[in-house]
Chain A
């Protein structure tokens, strides 16, 4: 029995060592990335704390994604030499629907959920050229905290951004 389990363990370790290692990530694609507070379109009723929280979440997600060497705060100065390889993310929350607990409970299947839509422009810092525009639509249960929606929106935004900017030169 012990011999058998020893063989199994050896096979597992051998398999682990022969599986291709996780693709090594090279240096970050950009020097700096700056996220700005997103503006709210007319009619969007979200608490002021939401905007701050989303900004913080977006920065946290950008750090996790390792797209830039440095994720700087809003309004921080960047060296002129780094500007062509730096990003600025500006955006607007275009729509927010509070949702309905009653609809969600009676109908289910996503009916009555809170919904958030936002558009973000990713610009190159040096010449303000728009590198990509990202549309994010997040929906969550109306009983959940709106901050969870901010978290999900930030994750989605950074994920899309990473995909869109893959083709950009390093």
Chain B
């Protein structure tokens, strides 16, 4: 390479580094169709068998993760976004699985147990640099509307998938990881001993309650 050409290359390299686009990594990524993933359960998670199968109704799903951008799953590499709020994704997953197991009430008034869900983690957690660590953590407050009693049920879903270099693979792996963690979390809730104990306890109190007790509106 001749000296003038070398100088030209160096100048171009400096200009590229100083250009605003090159520094775009420092800015917050924006959601676009290319960097947005859709997370949902591929199939309903089978629920456990109850002695007296109750009908559940999910009253509300609240995000308590404290994450200011709950739809931003990954900030690096131009960002990866969810297409919906984690609350909507989890609600859909729970309802889908409860419906498949015939445990979902048609409306709030016909439900035996009302469930209020609080999400504490949804998305990627801090893992090793080599892979993606997906985590879905939530607490469900299962309430008997007749007696007003409630029991807390915790559930956690985790998943680890290998990392990726190419953006396309990266997005696919992140999506797979979060979907697996979501499935695991829903399964942990629906098949958990905690839910079994909660349902047994709430059904017992319902049977013990005097006949005159009026259902409370919540």
Residues of A within 8 A of B (CB): 49, 52-53, 55-57, 59-60, 72-77, 145, 147-148, 150-151
B129 within 8 A of A: yes
Closest Cβ–Cβ distance, residue B55 to chain A (whole Å): 20
B138 within 8 A of A: no
A77 touches B193 (CB 8 A): yes
**Closest partner residue, chain A, to B160 (CB atom):** A60
**Closest partner residue, chain B, to A59 (CB atom):** B158
Interface size range on B against A:
20 to 34
List which B148-168 residues lie within 8 A (CB) of chain A: 155-160
6 contacts between A and B (CB under 8 A): A53-B126, A73-B158, A73-B188, A76-B191, A145-B129, A147-B127
List which B161-218 residues lie within 8 A (CB) of chain A: 184, 187-188, 191-194, 196
B192 touches A76 (CB 8 A): yes
B156 touches A73 (CB 8 A): yes
Q: Is the interface of B mostly helix, strand, loop or mixed?
A: mixed
Q: Is the interface of A mostly helix, strand, loop or mixed?
A: helix
Question: CA–CA, A97 to B187, complex, Å?
Answer: 36
B188 touches A49 (CB 8 A): no
A77 touches B192 (CB 8 A): yes
A76/B193 contact (C-beta < 8 A), A52-B135, A56-B160, A57-B160 known: yes
Partner of A72 from the list B126, B128, B130, B191 (CB cut-off 8 Å) is B191
**Closest partner residue, chain A, to B181 (CB atom):** A56
A53/B128 contact (C-beta < 8 A), A73-B156, A75-B193, A77-B193 known: yes
Closest Cβ–Cβ distance, residue A143 to chain B (whole Å): 12
B127 touches A53 (CB 8 A): yes
Contacts of B194 in A (CB 8 A): 75
Residues of B within 8 A of A (CB): 48, 125-130, 133, 135, 155-160, 184, 187-188, 191-194, 196
**Closest partner residue, chain B, to A145 (CB atom):** B128
Question: CA–CA, A76 to B48, complex, Å?
Answer: 9
Question: CA–CA, A59 to B181, complex, Å?
Answer: 12
Q: Pick from A52, A59, A75 the residue with the most CB of B within 10 Å.
A: A75
Closest Cβ–Cβ distance, residue A70 to chain B (whole Å): 10
A49/B193 contact (C-beta < 8 A), A56-B158, A56-B160 known: no
B128 touches A147 (CB 8 A): yes
Contacts of A77 in B (CB 8 A): 48, 191-193, 196
Contacts of B191 in A (CB 8 A): 72-73, 76-77
Contacts of B196 in A (CB 8 A): 77
Contacts of A75 in B (CB 8 A): 188, 192-194
Contacts of A150 in B (CB 8 A): 128
A73 touches B157 (CB 8 A): yes
Contacts of B159 in A (CB 8 A): 56, 60
A56/B188 contact (C-beta < 8 A), A73-B157, A147-B128, A150-B128 known: no
Question: CA–CA, A22 to B75, complex, Å?
Answer: 43
**Closest partner residue, chain A, to B134 (CB atom):** A56
Partner of A52 from the list B128, B129, B158 (CB cut-off 8 Å) is B158
Question: CA–CA, A49 to B135, complex, Å?
Answer: 11
Contacts of A151 in B (CB 8 A): 128, 130
Closest 6 interchain pairs by CB? A56-B158, A147-B128, A73-B188, A60-B160, A76-B191, A77-B193
